[in-house]
């Protein structure tokens, strides 16, 4: 993946970049983001585009649930977390929804994964489930409950980690009755 800004910083003239695009050697993935045409298709194209354009973004909520395969929901937008005070990114495609977080609630549980040379920052499954309860009014309580059930089914040993992250996100008392009902 190439960003126009990085190519220009390396001393490549914009005409050269556009010639490579027009000749079919580069494919424009999004505005300002290119990849080699002979590479295989991307597994997570929307996430890769957003990660390339917004490096400080952390994929959260339904996007992270889908990434970790602990939901049946289909993400209709890419949901990202950004620190409070950062500028909201302007992307033509894919649709992006920004959630603001601060301090340890933002920095806790960030995992890095590499997809075709682009670093994806995704919240861990525990942090994602806790965030689903934190933002249950925005994404729906049914999504949060499904995430909790799926997490418990696939990560039986991780309940202590979930509880620790729930305390950091200040949703431990919200999750407690649902956990007791599931157990």
* 116 and 50 together in one domain: yes
* 69 and 32 together in one domain: no
* 114 and 148 together in one domain: yes
CA atoms within 13 A on the CB side of 157: 0
* 82 and 148 together in one domain: yes
The model's pLDDT over 32-61, given as tens digits with 9 standing for 90+, comes to 888 788 877 767 888 988 998 898 999 999
The model's pLDDT over 3-28, given as tens digits with 9 standing for 90+, comes to 888 888 889 888 888 888 889 888 88
* 23 and 45 together in one domain: no
Rounded Cα distance, 49 and 2, in Å: 11
């861990």: which residue's tokens?
A: 124
* 81 and 101 together in one domain: yes
> Residue 59 belongs to what domain range?
40-182
Model confidence, pTM: 0.82
Q: What is the tally of structural domains in the chain?
A: 2
The first and second tokens of residue 30, run together, are: 């999004």
């Amino acid at each position: 993946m190439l960003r126009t800004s990085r190519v220009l910083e390396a001393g490549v003239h914009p005409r050269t970049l556009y010639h490579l695009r027009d000749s079919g050697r580069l494919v424009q993935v999004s505005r300002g983001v290119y990849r080699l045409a002979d590479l295989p298709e991307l597994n997570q194209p929307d996430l890769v585009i957003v990660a390339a354009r917004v490096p400080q973004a952390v994929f959260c909520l339904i996007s992270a649930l889908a990434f970790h395969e602990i939901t049946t929901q289909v993400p209709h937008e890419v949901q990202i977390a950004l620190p409070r005070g950062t500028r909201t990114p302007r992307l033509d495609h894919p649709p992006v929804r920004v959630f603001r977080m601060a301090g340890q609630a933002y920095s806790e549980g960030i995992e890095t994964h590499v997809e075709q040379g682009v670093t994806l920052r995704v919240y861990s499954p525990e942090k994602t489930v806790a965030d689903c309860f934190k933002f249950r009014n925005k994404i729906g309580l049914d999504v949060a409950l499904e995430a909790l059930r799926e997490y418990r089914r696939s990560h039986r040993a991780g309940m202590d980690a979930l509880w620790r992250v729930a305390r950091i996100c200040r949703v431990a008392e919200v999750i407690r009755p649902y956990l007791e009902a599931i157990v």
